[in-house]
Homo-oligomer: A and B are copies of this chain.
Amino acid sequence: MGSRVVVIGGDAAGMSAAAELRRRLPESDEVVAVERTDQTSYSACGIPYWVAGEVGSADDLVSRSPEEHRKRGIDLRTATEATAIDVDACEVTVWSEDVEETIGYDRLVIATGAEPVRPDLPGIDGEGIFGIQSLADGQEVIDALAEDPEHVVVVGSGYIGLEMAEACTQRGIDSIVIEALDTPLSILEPALGEKVANAMRSMDITLRTGTSVTGFTLEDGRLTGVEIEGETLPADVVILGLGVVARSEIAQKAGLPTGMKGGIIVDSTQRVTGFDGIWAAGDCVVTRDRVSDELIHVPLGTHANKQGVVVADAIAADLLGEEPRLEFPGIVQTAITKFCALEISRTGLGEQQARDAGFDPVVATIDTTTIAGYLPDAGELTVLMVADRPTRRLLGVQIVGNRNAGLRIDAAATAITAGMTVDEVVMLDLAYAPPFASVWSPLLVAARSAVKMLSS
What residues of chain A have their CB less than 8 Å away from a CB belonging to chain B?
12, 43, 45-46, 49, 54-55, 60-61, 159, 290, 300-306, 325, 327-329, 331-338, 343, 345, 347, 372, 374-376, 404, 406-411, 413-415, 417-418, 420, 424, 426-437, 439-441, 443-444, 455
Q: Measured between alpha carbons, how far is A386 from B435 in the docked complex, in Å? A: 26
Contacts A12-B439, A431-B407; A43 near B305 (Cβ below 8 A): no
Q: Are A45 and B433 in contact (CB under 8 A)?
A: yes
Q: Measured between alpha carbons, how far is A300 from B300 in the docked complex, in Å? A: 38
Q: Are B331 and A429 in contact (CB under 8 A)?
A: yes
Q: Are A407 and B404 in contact (CB under 8 A)?
A: yes
Q: Looking at the complex, which one of B347, B428, B434 makes contact with A49 (CB distance below 8 Å)?
A: B434
**How many whole Å from A277's CB to the nearest CB in chain B?**
24
Q: Are B374 and A433 in contact (CB under 8 A)?
A: no
Contacts A415-B418, A439-B305; A410 near B431 (Cβ below 8 A): yes
**How many whole Å from A387's CB to the nearest CB in chain B?**
16
Q: Measured between alpha carbons, how far is A301 from B434 in the docked complex, in Å? A: 10
Q: Using CB atoms, name the residue of chain B closest to A330.
A: B429
Listed residue (A300, A302, A345, A413) with the most chain B CB atoms within 10 angstroms of its CB: A302
**How many whole Å from A393's CB to the nearest CB in chain B?**
13
Q: Are A406 and B332 in contact (CB under 8 A)?
A: no
Q: Are A432 and B301 in contact (CB under 8 A)?
A: yes
Q: Looking at the complex, which one of B43, B60, B414 makes contact with A418 (CB distance below 8 Å)?
A: B414
Q: Are A372 and B411 in contact (CB under 8 A)?
A: no
Contacts A334-B429, A407-B431; A302 near B436 (Cβ below 8 A): no
Q: Looking at the complex, which one of B301, B332, B429 makes contact with A439 (CB distance below 8 Å)?
A: B301
Contacts A410-B410, A434-B45, A439-B12; A429 near B333 (Cβ below 8 A): yes
Q: Measured between alpha carbons, how far is A305 from B448 in the docked complex, in Å? A: 12
Q: Are A436 and B413 in contact (CB under 8 A)?
A: no
Q: Measured between alpha carbons, how far is A343 from B437 in the docked complex, in Å? A: 13
Q: Measured between alpha carbons, how far is A1 from B415 in the docked complex, in Å? A: 45
Q: Measured between alpha carbons, how far is A335 from B407 in the docked complex, in Å? A: 17
Q: Are B427 and A413 in contact (CB under 8 A)?
A: no
**How many whole Å from A79's CB to the nearest CB in chain B?**
24
Jot down 27 A-B pairs with beta carbons below 8 A, ordered by A: A43-B374, A45-B432, A49-B435, A54-B375, A301-B432, A302-B432, A302-B439, A302-B441, A305-B439, A305-B440, A327-B427, A336-B433, A338-B433, A338-B435, A347-B431, A404-B407, A407-B431, A408-B410, A409-B431, A410-B410, A411-B411, A413-B429, A414-B415, A414-B418, A414-B420, A415-B418, A418-B418
Q: Measured between alpha carbons, how far is A290 from B429 in the docked complex, in Å? A: 10
Contacts A334-B430, A418-B415; A61 near B439 (Cβ below 8 A): no
Contacts A55-B375, A302-B440; A432 near B336 (Cβ below 8 A): yes
Residues in B neighbouring A420, C-beta threshold 8 A? 414, 418
Q: Using CB atoms, name the residue of chain B closest to A53.
A: B376
Q: Measured between alpha carbons, how far is A77 from B409 in the docked complex, in Å? A: 42
A-B contacts besides A347-B431, A407-B437, A413-B431, 17 pairs, CB < 8 Å: A43-B374, A45-B432, A54-B375, A54-B376, A159-B433, A302-B430, A302-B440, A302-B441, A306-B427, A329-B424, A334-B432, A336-B437, A409-B431, A410-B410, A410-B431, A410-B443, A414-B430
Contacts A305-B439, A407-B436, A436-B336; A430 near B413 (Cβ below 8 A): yes
Q: Are B408 and A375 in contact (CB under 8 A)?
A: no
**How many whole Å from A429's CB to the nearest CB in chain B?**
4
